[in-house]
């Protein structure tokens, strides 16, 4: 095992928090139970990692084994990456998609290798017939850089692909082509949707975020939901504007529903519109060119924050459709121009 | 003839006649008495019969009345208030109707009116097993639109709704039912194969989201020396739960003996005609029969 590989394995294992070490190593399934038993997991982390790397050397770990460990680590810490979403499309009237995972994988690798000799591609099957792909890019003359890989998550027979943001922008078209051809699609387009929370992105594009359905089997009728302000709490407390508060509550519930919102960290609006002002003779109002302006809303949980705006009295209800359309349209990057 | 003119003879014939007369009278009287008694007897007999009939009628009526009373007491509340409030009756009727509405799930296609339209529930089933339910919440407006749903993303919902939602909603729902039931059936077969017949598989079962391509290597006998066959099942018709293309091959370089070739061909037919898990059940049963024959 050469030094660079040993170093890479060492750095990958070092990233793993001690509380997860056993779980990740077991998921990796490269070192046997026997080998793991010979290691003292109570020692200092550096010494533990040193011992583990020695075991990997004994077992002659390859680049692919190390790549697999990297995938598993990333699966446990997916929030550390920022994920983009791509949408693929087919020609109308195409045949039924008989997706064969093995064919997809071999086709994908073939297309990448045809263009780039130096590239490391690794696969790990995941739940719901999906696959995690790790790609380490090299160039014509340089070996793949294992420290800046791109991750791709693809659920079979769906048009959506999730990729971790790639710094090497030049490789994106090649990646897109490989994905499209291998999965029997025709075109691929980047969506204006980005977040750290992969599961929320999946919920948004697969339209799985609202799981509340009215059936005869539900016991609580949705219309009889009581106001969150518990009026019966204390008779000395009188709620002012009760009617208005109830209206706001109702409108918020209609817009956002009763379900937990998918998690996004920001919404960005790029405005290229002419300035509109009520005051006549305002300097900016005379400008003929559109004003360029970028508005960014940030939050640890943007959609829950937006949901709480009107009930908290900070904004009027109903909120602007530009804010409320985010999960429905599957966008959190907007470009607004004058019509 | 000797006339005897003494008292004895006179007493003799006339007395004899008298005696005979008395006898006749007596017997006639007896006969009349007997007849009278018989008449009385028959009269009494008829009376008894009449009374018996009457008794039976009265008994029957008494029973009927008892039964009626019993039936009416059952309907009366256990706390024996003679009045049942209208509210209670209405409540019970409502619960009854609600239970019927809940049971509609078992028909496969049911729905509930919502404030903006209707929420349709498609309950899938395969071979009598109730499987997952899927929902579509429709907003009744012009144009009709889907508010939200729980249909998996790989089912062609957009295609179907573009074609049929506005023009023929019944067809839209039936098509969707077809797709979902077929998908649920294929998924059920693949899951059964993976869980119940893992011993027959010589490797992982390869499948995809729609469960319309299955690829696996299997042996007819889990522990035996039978050859491993590779099966590849394609379901090109997404509205059916049986494959449209089946290829069973033998992994190896030698040519198959004729008996194995027969088996291979018969397996192909089996996979075409029967659900996957049933094919493997029949393999298991054949294996048991073989075991029995070895024992005996």
Asked if B228 and B217 count as a contact pair (C-beta separation under 8 A), the reply is yes
Question: pLDDT tens digits for A273-290?
Answer: 887 777 766 676 667 788
Instruction: Inspect the interface and report whether the beta carbons of B209 and A156 lie closer than 8 Å.
Output: yes
From the centroid of its chain, how far is CA A202?
A: 7
- What's the CA gap between B232 and A200, in Å, rounded? 35
Handedness of CA A305, A306, A311, A313 (dihedral sign): positive
Instruction: Inspect the interface and report whether the beta carbons of B98 and A100 lie closer than 8 Å.
Output: no
- What's the CA gap between A149 and A24, in Å, rounded? 19
B295 forms beta bridges with none
The whole-number mean pLDDT for each consecutive block of 10 residues of chain B, a chain of 296 residues, reads 51 87 92 92 92 92 90 65 77 91 88 91 93 94 92 92 92 95 96 92 92 92 77 94 92 73 89 92 80 59
CB of B121 less than 8 A from some CB of A:
yes
B126 forms beta bridges with B129
- What's the CA gap between B65 and B57, in Å, rounded? 12
- What's the CA gap between B138 and B180, in Å, rounded? 18
Take residue A332 and report the two structure tokens written for it.
């959190």
Query: Does an H or E element contain A194, and which?
Result: strand A187-195
- What's the CA gap between B66 and B72, in Å, rounded? 10
- What's the CA gap between A64 and A37, in Å, rounded? 24
**Chain A residues touching residue B207 (CB < 8 angstroms):** 129
Give the pLDDT of residue B264: 87
CB of B153 less than 8 A from some CB of A:
yes
- What's the CA gap between A86 and A188, in Å, rounded? 7
**Phi and psi torsions of B224, nearest 5°:** -85, -170
Handedness of CA B72, B76, B82, B88 (dihedral sign): negative
- What's the CA gap between A307 and A253, in Å, rounded? 9
**Phi and psi torsions of B218, nearest 5°:** -140, 160
> In terms of CA atoms, which chain A residue is nearest residue B208?
A129
- What's the CA gap between A43 and A57, in Å, rounded? 20
**Chain A residues touching residue B213 (CB < 8 angstroms):** 98-100
User: Among residues A143, A165, A136, A10, which one has the least CA distance to residue A71?
Assistant: A136
Q: Hey, of A123, A157, A255, which one would you mutate to test binding to chain B, going by the most B CBs within 10 A of its CB?
A: A157
Asked if A227 and A246 count as a contact pair (C-beta separation under 8 A), the reply is yes
Contacts of B130 (CB under 8 A, 6+ apart): B106, B123, B124
- What's the CA gap between B177 and A214, in Å, rounded? 19
Instruction: Inspect the interface and report whether the beta carbons of A100 and B207 lie closer than 8 Å.
Output: no
Which residue in this structure is represented by tokens 């004058």? A338
Q: What is the DSSP letter of B185?
A: H
* From the candidate CATH numbers 1.10.287, 3.30.1370, 3.90.79, 3.30.457, the one assigned to the domain spanning B103-184: 3.30.457
Instruction: Determine the 3-state secondary structure of B63 from DSSP.
Output: helix
**Chain A residues touching residue B135 (CB < 8 angstroms):** 213, 215
Query: Terminus-to-terminus CA distance in chain B, angstroms?
Result: 121
User: Among residues A130, A162, A168, A135, which one has the least CA distance to residue A150?
Assistant: A135
Give the pLDDT of residue B53: 92
**Phi and psi torsions of A283, nearest 5°:** -60, -45
Instruction: Tell me the shortest Cα–Cα distance from A52 to chain B, in angstroms.
Output: 30
Q: Hey, of A85, A87, A91, A96, which one would you mutate to test binding to chain B, going by the most B CBs within 10 A of its CB?
A: A96
| Phi-psi sector, B9: left (phi>0), alpha (psi -120 to 50), beta | alpha
**Chain B residues touching residue A202 (CB < 8 angstroms):** none
Per-residue confidence of chain A (339 residues) as pLDDT tens digits?
789 999 999 999 999 999 999 999 999 999 998 898 898 888 999 999 999 999 999 999 999 999 999 999 999 999 999 999 999 999 877 778 899 999 999 999 999 999 988 999 999 999 999 999 999 999 888 899 999 999 999 999 999 999 998 777 888 999 999 999 999 999 999 999 999 999 999 999 999 999 889 888 765 554 444 455 555 567 777 778 888 889 999 999 989 988 999 999 999 999 888 877 777 666 766 677 888 889 999 999 999 999 999 999 899 889 999 999 999 999 999 998 877
CB of B272 less than 8 A from some CB of A:
no
Instruction: Inspect the interface and report whether the beta carbons of A215 and B104 lie closer than 8 Å.
Output: no
| pTM beyond cutoff 0.90 | no
Q: What residue segments make up the domains of chain B, in order of their start?
A: 103-184, 187-292
Contacts of A263 (CB under 8 A, 6+ apart): A195, A197, A200, A301, A302, A303
Query: Does an H or E element contain A273, and which?
Result: strand A266-273
Q: Residue B30, class by beta-carbon neighbours within 10 Å (0-12 exposed, 13-18 middle, 19+ buried)?
A: exposed
> For B208, which of A129, A210, A223 is closest by C-beta distance?
A129
Take residue A210 and report the two structure tokens written for it.
């609202």
User: Among residues B178, B194, B152, B148, which one has the least CA distance to residue A157?
Assistant: B152
Asked if A4 and A62 count as a contact pair (C-beta separation under 8 A), the reply is no
Residues in chain B, overall count: 296
Query: Distances in Å between the alpha carbon of A234 and those of A231, A237, A245, A249?
Result: 7, 6, 18, 21
What secondary structure does DSSP assign to B5-19, as a single string?
-SHHHHHHHHHHHHH
Instruction: Inspect the interface and report whether the beta carbons of B119 and A215 lie closer than 8 Å.
Output: yes
């Amino acid at each position: 095992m050469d030094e660079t590989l040993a170093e890479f394995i060492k750095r990958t294992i070092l990233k793993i928090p001690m509380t997860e070490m056993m779980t990740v190593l077991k998921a990796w399934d490269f070192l046997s139970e026997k080998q793991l038993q010979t290691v003292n997991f109570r020692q200092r982390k550096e010494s533990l990692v040193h011992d583990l790397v020695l075991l990997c050397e004994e077992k002659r770990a390859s680049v692919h084994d190390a790549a697999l460990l990297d995938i598993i680590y990333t699966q446990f810490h997916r929030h550390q990456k920022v994920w983009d979403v791509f949408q693929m499309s087919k020609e109308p009237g195409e045949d039924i998609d008989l997706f064969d995972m093995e064919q997809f994988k071999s086709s994908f690798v073939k297309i990448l290798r045809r263009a780039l000799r130096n590239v490391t591609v690794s696969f790990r099957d995941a739940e719901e017939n999906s696959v995690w792909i790790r790609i380490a890019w090299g160039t014509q003359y340089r070996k793949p850089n294992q420290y800046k890989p791109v991750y791709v998550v693809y659920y079979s027979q769906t048009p959506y692909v999730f990729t971790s943001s790639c710094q090497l922008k030049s490789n994106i078209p090649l990646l897109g082509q490989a994905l499209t051809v291998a999965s029997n699609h025709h075109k691929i387009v980047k969506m204006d949707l980005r977040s750290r929370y992969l599961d929320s992105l999946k919920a948004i594009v697969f339209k799985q975020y609202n799981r509340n359905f009215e059936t005869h089997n539900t016991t609580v009728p949705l219309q009889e939901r009581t106001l969150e302000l518990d009026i019966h709490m204390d008779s000395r407390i009188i709620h002012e504007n009760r009617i208005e508060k109830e209206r706001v509550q109702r409108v918020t519930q209609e817009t956002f529903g009763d379900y937990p919102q998918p998690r996004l960290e920001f919404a960005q609006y790029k405005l290229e519109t002419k300035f509109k002002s009520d005051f006549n003779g305002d300097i900016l109002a005379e400008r003929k060119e559109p004003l360029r302006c970028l508005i960014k809303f940030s939050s640890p949980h943007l959609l829950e924050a937006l949901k709480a705006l009107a009930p908290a009295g900070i904004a009027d209800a109903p909120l602007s459709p530009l804010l409320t359309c985010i999960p429905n349209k599957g966008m959190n990057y907007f470009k607004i121009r004058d019509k | 003839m000797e006339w005897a003119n003494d008292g004895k003879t006179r007493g003799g014939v006339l007395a004899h006649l008298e005696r005979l007369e008395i006898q006749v009278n007596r017997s006639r009287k007896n006969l009349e008495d007997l007849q009278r008694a018989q008449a009385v007897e028959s009269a009494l007999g008829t009376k008894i019969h009449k009374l018996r009939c009457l008794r039976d009628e009265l008994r029957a009526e008494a029973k009927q009345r008892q039964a009626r009373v019993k039936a009416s007491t059952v309907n009366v509340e256990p706390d024996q208030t003679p009045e049942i409030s209208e509210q209670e009756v209405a409540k019970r009727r409502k619960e009854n109707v609600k239970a019927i509405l809940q049971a509609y799930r078992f028909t496969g296609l049911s729905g509930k009116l919502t404030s903006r339209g209707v929420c349709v529930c498609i309950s899938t089933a395969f071979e009598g097993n109730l499987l997952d339910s899927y929902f579509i919440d429709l907003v009744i407006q012009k144009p009709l639109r889907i508010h939200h749903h729980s249909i998996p993303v790989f089912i062609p919902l957009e295609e179907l709704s573009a074609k049929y939602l506005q023009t023929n909603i019944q067809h839209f729902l039936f098509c969707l039912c077809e797709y979902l039931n077929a998908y649920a059936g294929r998924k059920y077969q693949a899951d059964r194969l993976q869980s119940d017949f893992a011993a027959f598989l010589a490797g992982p079962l390869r499948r995809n989201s729609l469960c319309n391509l299955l690829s696996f290597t299997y042996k007819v006998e889990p522990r035996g020396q039978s050859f491993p066959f590779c099966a590849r099942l394609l379901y090109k018709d997404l509205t059916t739960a049986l494959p449209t293309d089946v290829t069973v091959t033998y992994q190896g370089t030698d040519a198959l003996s004729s008996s194995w070739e027969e088996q291979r061909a018969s397996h192909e037919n089996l996979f075409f005609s029967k659900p996957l898990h049933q094919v493997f059940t029949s393999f298991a049963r054949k294996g048991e029969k073989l075991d029995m024959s070895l024992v005996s």
